Amino acid sequence: MAFAELGRHFGDRMGLHTTDANALVEILSAQDTGHPLTQAGLSQRIGLTPGATSSLLNRLEEAGHVTRARDSADRRVVTLRATDHVEGMLDRFFDPLVDRATTMMSDYSPQTLAEIERFLTGFVAMMDAYRTEG
């Protein structure tokens, strides 16, 4: 619930619908890991049909938030990238939250934080497995 509300707040701040804002966060997240999303990958992550995702990407591209580029290794693959403008907006929005989280986490030992990370990683994996079961 809190994560969804944060996405809505980010969308409001950027003047975007929540779904568009969530798509941008997913695109940036994948981009930051060095594995940019394709349209199909984005569809899967945000739970939209391919047609709805295409419309969403058209809006984001027309607004200058996203670019589509052919993959250098496989020219058939089109990857999604957020523009520098969006990266800056996201940083300005989330940096204060990161600062607060860093302050909060300073109350815990590295061992306790490692246990929390292990728990959360396992919990997310369990939820993903449950979600993808037939």
* 38-81 per-position pLDDT tens digit: 999 999 999 999 999 999 999 999 999 999 988 777 778 889 99
The tokens describing 79, both together, are 């990857």
Tell me whether residue 134 is in a domain.
no
User: What is the pLDDT at residue 95?
Assistant: 94
> How many C-beta neighbours within 10 Å does residue 77 have?
13
Tell me whether residue 87 is in a domain.
yes
How far is residue 33's CA from residue 133's CA, in Å, rounded to a whole number? 26
Model's pTM, two decimal places?
A: 0.72
Tell me whether residue 45 is in a domain.
yes
Helical H runs in the chain? 2-14, 18-32, 39-46, 50-62, 84-105, 110-132
* 8-28 per-position pLDDT tens digit: 888 888 888 889 998 998 998
Tell me whether residue 121 is in a domain.
no
Tell me whether residue 129 is in a domain.
no
What is the CA angle 85-64-91, rounded to 5? 25
Handedness of CA 123, 18, 34, 32 (dihedral sign): negative
Tell me whether residue 123 is in a domain.
no
The torsion angles phi and psi of 16, rounded to 5 degrees, stand at: -120, 155
How far is residue 26's CA from residue 31's CA, in Å, rounded to a whole number? 8
User: What is the pLDDT at residue 128?
Assistant: 85
- Mean pLDDT in the chain? 90
Identify whether the C-beta of residue 35 lies closer than 8 Å to the C-beta of residue 43: no
What residue numbers bound the domain in which 85 lies? 2-107
Tell me whether residue 9 is in a domain.
yes
For position 45, which CATH number holds?
Answer: 1.10.10.10
Identify whether the C-beta of residue 90 lies closer than 8 Å to the C-beta of residue 24: yes
Is the pLDDT score of 1 beyond 60?
no
Tell me whether residue 127 is in a domain.
no
User: What's the structural domain count of the chain?
Assistant: 1
- Which long-range contacts (C-beta less than 8 Å, at least 24 apart) are formed by 61-70? 65/24, 66/24, 66/27
